[in-house]
């Protein structure tokens, strides 16, 4: 229900709608909310989209949204892709999933 409402709200590309979706996504990573947030293609949503890569349900929506961001997402994806080198001891399975997806998106972006 919330995801459907978020998708409907995203039809209005206003700052107010973006901020509402951003606040909601900051608390809960729901696929519809992540998809709606990504449809704005605003750089300030990139950290939330990257966080959503670690969520099984929202991963696909986050991956698609980051692809839509294109070059704007590149610096964050590159930082994420190289993260293990900085602290391999703190590596979790979720970190590895995020990193793998970041590398895939970067390869697709060329």
Domain extent listing, the chain: 2-109
**CATH dotted code for 2-109:** 1.25.10
Angle of helix 2-9 relative to helix 31-38, nearest 10 degrees? 10
pTM over 0.85: yes
Q: What is the pLDDT of residues 49-102, one digit of tens each?
A: 999 999 999 999 999 999 999 999 999 999 999 865 555 666 889 999 999 999
């Amino acid at each position: 229900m919330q995801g459907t409402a978020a998708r409907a709200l995203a039809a209005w590309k206003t700052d107010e709608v973006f901020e509402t979706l951003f606040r909601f996504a900051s608390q809960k990573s729901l696929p519809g909310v992540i998809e709606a947030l990504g449809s704005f293609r605003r750089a300030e949503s990139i950290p939330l989209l990257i966080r959503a890569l670690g969520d099984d349900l929202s991963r696909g929506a986050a991956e698609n949204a980051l692809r839509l961001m294109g070059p704007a997402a590149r610096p964050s994806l590159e930082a994420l892709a190289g993260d293990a080198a900085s602290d391999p001891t703190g590596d979790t399975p979720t970190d590895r999933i995020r990193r793998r997806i970041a590398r895939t998106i970067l390869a697709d972006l060329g």
